[in-house]
Amino acid sequence: MKRVVLGVSGSVAAYRAADLARDLMRAGCEVRVCLTDAAQNFVQPALFEALTGQPCLQDVFEEPVRGRMAHIDWARQADLILIAPATANTLAKLAHGDGEDMLTTLALAATGPIVVAPAMNPAMYTHPATQASMESLKARGVHFLEPVEGDVACGENGQGKLAANSQIVQETLLILHRAEKLKGQTVLITSGPTEEPIDDVRFLTNRSSGKMGMAVARAAKLMGAEVILISGPTSLPTPTDFRVIPVRTAEEMRSAALGEIRHAHLVIGVAAVADYRPAERVQGKIRRSEEEMVLKLVLNPDIIAELAQAHPEKKVVAFAAEPTSDPEVARAKMLRKGVHAIAMNDVSRPDIGFGADENELKLLFTDGKSAESGKQSKLGCALWLLEKLTEA
């Protein structure tokens, strides 16, 4: 039985949470409810305790089991946290990591999937602050059920009504199912750029931000995998819910990947590994002079090809950042590297690719099959990619 924590915040639509709790129970879930203070102006804990047969949490210092911190217990025991309805205020708190009440503290402690269904006045919904909260939560993997258009409780009309209960239940079940897809599997991901030192203060690198690799890692985690991320230097915050191995050069990335691959079922090479490195690293700092300077470069290892060839029993997938949308370039690369599939993206487009928040992938398989993700957030592309790879 799947355990869902249903968080209810202070919207008029809180009355619908009672039916939602029942619908989730009918769908086979155990439901535990947590109310914000504002929600209790609309609905009472006794209602949910009677409906679910479980204690209903309201206060952050509440302990249904004496000596056990409920926010940690509930977060660990939940397969999914559903916040419906979610107010603009609760969205802002979630986005900022505010743990002022039981619901937001519980959400902070959660490491599993979070589904959010906002409900509010249309002006509140379209307010840049609310939209920014949603964007930042989406980037962290929170799944949203957008509100629908219609007459809202205050008498205005527009987008802001809580999505239909049937849709909330259906999506919740889908996310619960997705969270199982990579259970028991370890996904090894290489990500970001590499830095190839010229001397002690200079290096050769490229424009990779590491966002796509991080999105693949986050998506794999959302799908239940154990994740190992080998990352070149990036400015992204270091995640704490999976293992990250920081590296700098292609050689370091290679030895980390060869050391970790034995644990992996699926390997995805998202890193933009420098093809060449300076033939020698000068100690100290190269001084300016009137002389012309020639930098000799030598070929770096092709890490993903080496992994694929050394471990034909594992599914190894490459990324191809190409300044073209012609799939034949990526297909040739896939065959040359001996990988199972290749995900191509066109880095000549400024709206996708290096540094952008969105991407568009073309996935090619060795058997000639292919699929396209369409343009979406990098996390959306990553989830799409992993779904396709688990189907294949």
Name the residue nearer to ligand FMN (CB basis): 82 or 119: 119
Residue among 49, 111, 51, 117 at smallest CA distance from 79:
111
Question: Which of 134/217 has CB closer to ligand FMN?
Answer: 134
Quick check: 39 binds ligand FMN (CB under 6 A)?
yes
Alpha carbon distance 339, 28 (integer Å):
41
Instruction: Show Cβ contacts of residue 168 under 8 Å, excluding neighbours closer than 6 positions.
Output: 20, 82, 84, 115, 117, 145, 162
State the residue for tokens 């190894």. Answer: 316
Interface with ligand FMN, residue 58, by CB under 6 A:
no
Is 105 a residue that touches ligand FMN (CB under 6 A)? Answer: no
C-beta closer to ligand FMN: residue 58 or 186: 58
Q: Which stretch binds ligand FMN (CB under 6 A): 3-11, 137-145, 219-227, 338-346?
A: 3-11
Is residue 35 within 8 Å of residue 113, measured between CB atoms?
Answer: no
Q: Exactly one of 29, 56, 154, 381 is catalytic; which is it?
A: 154
How many positions of this chain bind ligand FMN (CB under 6 A)?
15
Active site residue 29: no
List the one residue from 52, 58, 87, 172 that touches ligand FMN (CB under 6 A).
87
The residue assigned the tokens 């258009």 is 149
User: 129 or 332, CB closer to ligand FMN?
Assistant: 129
Alpha carbon 13 to chain centroid, angstroms: 29
* Smallest distance, ligand FMN to C-beta of residue 69, A: 20
Decide: is 90 part of the binding site for ligand FMN (CB under 6 A).
yes
CA pair distance 304, 114, nearest whole angstrom: 33
Kindly state the smallest distance separating residue 143's Cβ from ligand FMN, in Å: 19
Which residues are paired to 376 by β-bridges? Answer: 359
Q: Per rule CB under 6 A, is residue 10 in the interface with ligand FMN?
A: yes
Q: How far is CA 356 from CA 220, 317, 382, in A?
A: 20, 22, 14
- CA-wise closest residue to 139 among 351, 378, 373, 387: 378
Smaller CB separation from ligand FMN, 156 or 280 = 156
Write out the catalytic residue numbers.
Answer: 154
What is the contact surface with ligand FMN in residues (CB under 6 A)? 9-13, 36, 38-39, 87-90, 119-120, 124
